[in-house]
Structure 1
Amino acid sequence: MHWNLNTRYKILLEINNAVITNFSINDFFKSLSSELRRHFEYDRLSIFIYDSEAQSLTHLTLADGVQPEGFEKHVRPLASGAVAKMVIQSREPVILEDLAKYSEHPSIIAMANAGLTSTMAFPLIVRNRILGTMHMSFKKRPADMAGLKEIFTDVSNQVAIAVGNMVTFTQLEEEKQHLVREKQYLMSATDDYQPDNFLYVSQVMLDIMKLVERVADIDAPLLITGETGTGKDYIARYIHSISPRKDHLFVKVNCPALTPSLFESELFGHVKGAFTGADAARTGRFEMADKGTIFLDEIAELPVDLQAKLLQVLQEHQIERVGDNRRIRTNFRLIAATNRNLADSIEDGTIRQDLYYRLNIIQIQLPPLRERKEDIPYLIKKMNEIESAGVNRPKPKYPDKVIDFLTDYHWPGNVRELKNLIKRMVILNPGELISLPDIQKLVNVSDQADKHSFNEAATLAETMAETEKLCIKRALEQTKGIVGGPEGATKILDVPKSTLQYRIKKYGLNPTDYI
């Protein structure tokens, strides 16, 4: 078929009008293929985005028409002999009029096996940069391949501009979403991490911190092990803070909270409309951690079926948002933590062996507080100073017999338990001399029991809840029932108002009772 100048102009104008207003990838491709089918007979239309760094091709979206076997893979390497590679290397259209003559390349064989006999491919070039390639294939070879090449060279120029605009728009939208999500994440972070607040004088901790500083600037995965309350979260944050990634986000993921329904959306993100309730696009944790650090806390609690999905991301450093078929590269450093023995978890089938080997390249094992007793007097002194200054209260006084008792105590909750006890004493006994009975009562050790034993009837959670409730009551008493503001209990307890209101309701307290 011959296309005169007027016909060509009309076709190009109609294609331009069809695609120029579309910034959604799927809508763009649907409009393009629909308009092209009005004017041309073809059996497969596809567009690839070229990643020069990874030397790979990514489907812009699912191709229109025939789907050769193996072509459903979303991302594939730019293999030697592939039509797209010929186009990218030459920066010129490539026409294969008889696919049967090119039997040496698997992708061409797959096309021929699907009944396609010929294909043409065009570079998508904007400002001298190759964005990708556009392909049109046929079961019956068109009579005027030269004429098609001529008009599709013009079409590909239009498509290149549209794809370039769309890619730029998509990147800007993703950056906007990333900034919004990053702001939300930073605003929701309420931890009290301070680099100078990780306290130790013992040789075992000095040796561990030397190891920490040696591995901080390495991008290899890192596994931190230790009992609950030993400071795994703190070590992870410290490593990030002294690493080359320190100017980017430290993103924490609480693995036990990831249900199967939340896993992909939380970690990988989703596009608007991906599922019921997805009223807006969401950036996932791995994408947020690009150029930064992602911390997978209590990774052994992740269900085995979800571990396989996680392993794939750790291997490829690419994610796919829910509802989107594009692969997004993300450059993160992985730190994981667990309070379990992962070798035992492999034996009982709760941890995949391949995931364990992926994580266990460098391991830092934190000792329980009972194995670093020389740190305890120093911790008491420094924590007492920090917590007192934090609420502007005079420091409680700890006599030697109390310090000796606390040093001998076996601390099932480790440093976290000690910190909570010190904080409680600052709030309940500011400036007072702490007596041994006071401390024994707080750690649930009776006068009749051995001073090293812990009351087995009371769990750590129960003890901490009781402590928390008592601290809130005392703060409400001191503020005469005022919850928020500069004169309120939130100032004393150093917690957000919403958090304190939730705790007050949880423990059945009524601020008006303290007026």
Structure 2
Amino acid sequence: MDEKLEDKSNISLTDLFDVGQLQRVQNAFSDATKVASVITNPDGTPVTAPYRFCRLCKDVIRKTKKGRANCFYSDAVIGKQNPGGPIVQTCLSGGIWDAGASISVGGRHIGNFLMGQVKNELIAEDELIGYAREIGADEADFAQALQEVPRMSLDEFRDIAQLGFVIANELSNQAHQSLRQKRDIVALRKVEGALKESSERLQLLLDLNNAIVSNLEINALVKLIPARVRAVMQCDSVYLSMPDEGGRNFVVRGLDFPGSKGYLREGAVLEMFGSEAGRAFAEGTARRCGTEIKGQNPNVRRIIFGEGFRSECLIPVTAGEEKLGVLHLSDTRPDRFSLHDVGFLAQVAGQIAIALGNALKYQKLSDTRQRLADENSYLTREIQSGDRFKEIVGDSPELRKVLAHVSTVADTDMTVMINSETGTGKELIARTIHQLSARRDRMFVKLNCVAIPAGLLESELFGHEKGAFTGAHERKIGRFEVADGGTLFLDEIGDFPIELQPKLLRVLQEQEFERVGGTRPIRVNVRVISATNRNLEQMMREGQFRADLYYRLNVFPIHVPPLRQRQGDIPQLVEYFVGHYARKMNRPIRRIPPAVMEAMVRYEWPGNVRELQNLVQRAVILSPGDELVSPFAALRELEAMLPQPPPEERLVDVERSHILQVLKESGGILGGENGAAARLGIPRTTLIYKMRRLSIPRGIGGS
């Protein structure tokens, strides 16, 4: 634009452009932004018909002498030649915004792109109506017309004014080209093609602006943008190179390449180092490349040779200081991209940056909102799921040994595996490790691996993307993301499906995973504590549990002895539970008879602390006075229901023998009308639980 042209003193917009074309560009801008616009000569006379002008300006304000004078003054201000950017002007005492961008050729001002008639959202309408009195307009008519004027913030209007400035610059570029080619008919025909291209390019800018306004879904944007750019630029391939989580590689996003031979693929990971795209990204400058491959990394060379590319154009996409990626155009023709193309694509990249920046902020906000909702929901379920005792009760040597292990490992980030029988308080031990660790201020999240169907466990643990499977209507944050920075407790890890174990192993090794249906790796910082009552070493030998996963989980094993091996803790536990439930049920219990306490200490407690807790709760319910009633009548009822064992047999042995006998009778079948669970009169899940507790292997009793 700095080159001075001859015979340009009498050049006007109508000499260089078809008015109908200018009208279409102007109207498309107004339809996209909902802002009034008009293209004028430098003296303010309209070249196009004003579009979306509000009645307030033309029928109310301009009907008064003072109003017309103010409008003419505002038009004169925003109609000045200003190559540095749009001029934003306020009128109506700061209540209405207008803006203008100049159109020039060879340094000469030949027209204006004016836009505005937008209310300042910070100014009350009562203040604006007061302006009617200043100019002598009818206040009622003024107030009614004011309702039709759009309202927005200054930042929103500046973004729209910037788009108008980009359009004015593109018109200036085309005016420059048109003037140089005006001297003969052949040149004029070329102008028609250039104007057509300009119209398409301007339409692309408007389309991108519409995308900014209407689309906050990042995946939809990265698919839409390259397709629109390729259609306008008429090149072979367009995609966005976006940095991965680590910032060392590009991920190919939104690839639009109908003629691909397969070397360049959607989702491909390309190393930044040793690539022209990486240099454009790092330096923030556009690059045009030919077939030179010197200094390019092997992956890039393979793609260039394989696809037959002979020219590339690489435009960095940045929003302020944030680097979002690179707009990557490729073609099999040499010297396909001109400096003019680079300038236009830089404007496109500016619009893309706004769109992607807004979408990324929206995605982060949505993820944060969902994570907070998930945390709130999780904590609510935790509170409602039952009693939560914050203390580990007991002082036996066996328990002190366990707590010593807890103190040793808590301050580290090592994985811990808690091994014990059902009902010994594995979750309480895991919570204590978390509370003593540096992660105590973040989430403690638990997941019972046996309580969730295998088909849903992957989604529950790792989350899923919208549309990943039937019924996945929204993105879901998994337990690993909820626990980020904290601790994840995996109870019943022995029941973790073998087909999902490699994915769990990857998280333990790399602290990285993808959601179900996702391709973007998600990094987390989670400590994993697992628990089981099963013999995982035997399961490894039988091929039911991966050895590498076992060793990752079992870095620091903690064995919690069953209650029968730490009888010294029983009196304290009984007193603790009696006090807790007495307060909860408003019972005046102050004394535990020695005979009752002695019976509880002698009892084997096959269900461990959980059985003791439930039995004490039942005893408190049955105790109307200040003395605890013995709860062992319920146990005697259970014993009466079973075949009488020899005197030396324990209740747990009798129960095991009885289940084995029924399994033999059912041929090893657990469920169904004639299965062992139906014969025992208990649910199938209860039978499976009892078999695990009693170390009865699955499949026993079958032929």
Tell me, yes or no, whether TM beats 0.5: yes
Contact 1:370 1:414 in 2 (8 A): yes
Q: Are 2:273 and 1:105 equivalent residues in the alignment?
A: no
Indicate which of 225, 241, 261 corresponds to 1:32: 225
Match of 1:159 in 2: 352
Farther off after superposition, 335-344 or 324-333: 324-333
- Matched residues in 2 for 1:386 and 1:186: separation? 22
Match of 1:453 in 2: 650
Q: CA distance change for structure 1 residues 108 and 264 in 2, over 3 Å: closer, same or farther? A: farther
Q: Are 2:561 and 1:372 equivalent residues in the alignment?
A: no
Q: Are 2:431 and 1:237 equivalent residues in the alignment?
A: yes
Q: Are 2:422 and 1:228 equivalent residues in the alignment?
A: yes
Q: Are 2:480 and 1:290 equivalent residues in the alignment?
A: no
- Matched residues in 2 for 1:206 and 1:373: separation? 13
Match of 2:206 in 1: 14
Letter in 1 for 2:279: M
Q: Are 2:373 and 1:180 equivalent residues in the alignment?
A: yes
Match of 2:455 in 1: 261
Bigger radius of gyration: 2
- Matched residues in 2 for 1:264 and 1:142: separation? 50
Please list the CA deviations of residues 108-167 of structure 1 after superposition, one character each: whole Å capped at 9, or x if unmatched. Answer: 323422333333323222121212222222222343443333322222222112111110
Q: CA distance change for structure 1 residues 359 and 95 in 2, over 3 Å: closer, same or farther? A: farther
State the Cα distance separating 1:202 from its structure 2 match: 0.9
Q: CA distance change for structure 1 residues 253 and 440 in 2, over 3 Å: closer, same or farther? A: closer
- 5+ long unaligned stretches in structure 1: 463-515
State the Cα distance separating 1:253 from its structure 2 match: 1.1
**TM-score, structure 2 length as denominator?**
0.60
Match of 1:343 in 2: 537
- Matched residues in 2 for 1:88 and 1:419: separation? 63
- Matched residues in 2 for 1:5 and 1:11: separation? 16
Q: Percent of counterpart pairs with the same letter?
A: 36
Q: CA distance change for structure 1 residues 28 and 67 in 2, over 3 Å: closer, same or farther? A: farther
Q: Are 2:173 and 1:5 equivalent residues in the alignment?
A: yes
Q: CA distance change for structure 1 residues 170 and 252 in 2, over 3 Å: closer, same or farther? A: same
Contact 1:396 1:426 in 2 (8 A): no
Written as runs of structure 1 = structure 2, the 5 A alignment for 1:133-212 is 133-189=326-382, 190-196=385-391, 198-212=392-406
Match of 2:256 in 1: 64
Q: CA distance change for structure 1 residues 130 and 256 in 2, over 3 Å: closer, same or farther? A: same
Letter in 2 for 1:286: F
Q: CA distance change for structure 1 residues 435 and 427 in 2, over 3 Å: closer, same or farther? A: closer
- 5+ long unaligned stretches in structure 2: 1-169, 175-197, 660-703
Match of 1:496 in 2: none
Match of 2:629 in 1: 434
Contact 2:264 2:307 in 1 (8 A): no
SS at match of 2:529: strand
- Matched residues in 2 for 1:99 and 1:444: separation? 87
Indicate which of 27, 30, 43 corresponds to 2:236: 43
State the Cα distance separating 1:395 from its structure 2 match: 2.6
- Matched residues in 2 for 1:177 and 1:13: separation? 33
Contact 1:118 1:138 in 2 (8 A): yes
- Matched residues in 1 for 2:397 and 2:209: separation? 72
Q: Are 2:288 and 1:91 equivalent residues in the alignment?
A: no
SS at match of 1:123: strand
Q: CA distance change for structure 1 residues 107 and 392 in 2, over 3 Å: closer, same or farther? A: farther
Contact 1:11 1:39 in 2 (8 A): no
Match of 1:122 in 2: 315
- Matched residues in 1 for 2:638 and 2:597: separation? 13
Match of 2:444 in 1: 250
State the Cα distance separating 1:54 from its structure 2 match: 2.4
Report the RMSD for the aligned CA atoms in angstroms: 3.0
Q: Are 2:499 and 1:305 equivalent residues in the alignment?
A: yes
Contact 1:444 1:455 in 2 (8 A): no
User: Relative CO higher for 1 or 2, CA cutoff 8 Å, sep ≥ 6?
Assistant: 1
Indicate which of 403, 417, 421 corresponds to 2:611: 417
- Matched residues in 2 for 1:435 and 1:237: separation? 32
Letter in 2 for 1:131: L
Farther off after superposition, 61-70 or 134-143: 61-70
State the Cα distance separating 1:329 from its structure 2 match: 2.3
Match of 1:383 in 2: 577
- Matched residues in 2 for 1:351 and 1:199: separation? 34
Aligned residues: 456
State the Cα distance separating 1:425 from its structure 2 match: 0.7
State the Cα distance separating 1:178 from its structure 2 match: 1.5
Letter in 1 for 2:594: D
- Matched residues in 2 for 1:379 and 1:184: separation? 31
